Amino acid sequence: MTKTQDMTAMFKDVMGSFPVDTAAMEDAFKTSATLNEKLSGVALTAVEKSSEISSKWTKDTLAKMADMSKAKAEPADYAKAMTDFASASAETAAEHMAAFAEIAKKVQMDTVELMMAAGKDMQEDATAAVKKASNDVQAAAKKATAK
């Protein structure tokens, strides 16, 4: 007579043979934390440079306002001072906006570079994890069917 194989015991052995590897999760967390650190660095550098531009812009504007607010001998001089202030303000606004655009461009380039590198790292990690899991499953299946 043939003996019926105990399927419950076999599934129990198979499931017990599957290794639980937390290294993949730890590596993913480390990769994510490193990416976040680099992205934060990019953002903080941009904020620092933007603050410097804003501060310089404010100082320039205040200096021009001081010139404009000085007492004038003739009424026409007030109109000229206002015109000079307005044209100087427009000129510096264009300069400062160009500086802000350069910061934004650098942030965009750095972010894309970091995301591309992170994507490559994650793809390599995922490939290695899938390969390891596949090998572990095959080994566990062979072990379970050998009993």
**5 has pLDDT over 80:** no
pLDDT tens for 48-85 read 999 999 999 999 999 999 988 899 889 899 999 999 99
Location of structure tokens 């090998």: 135
Instruction: Name the pLDDT band for 140 (thresholds 50, 70, 90).
Output: confident
DSSP calls for 96-126: HHHHHHHHHHHHHHHHHHHHHHHHHHHHHHH
Give pLDDT, residue 46: 96
Helix (H, G, I), strand (E, B) or coil at 61: helix
Average pLDDT over residues 20-29: 72
- The sign one gets for the Cα dihedral 36, 37, 38, 41 is positive
User: Looking at residue 108, what is its pLDDT?
Assistant: 95
pLDDT confidence bin for 2, thresholds 50/70/90: low
Token pair 């001089």 is at which residue? 77
pLDDT band at 109 (very low <50, low <70, confident <90, very high): very high
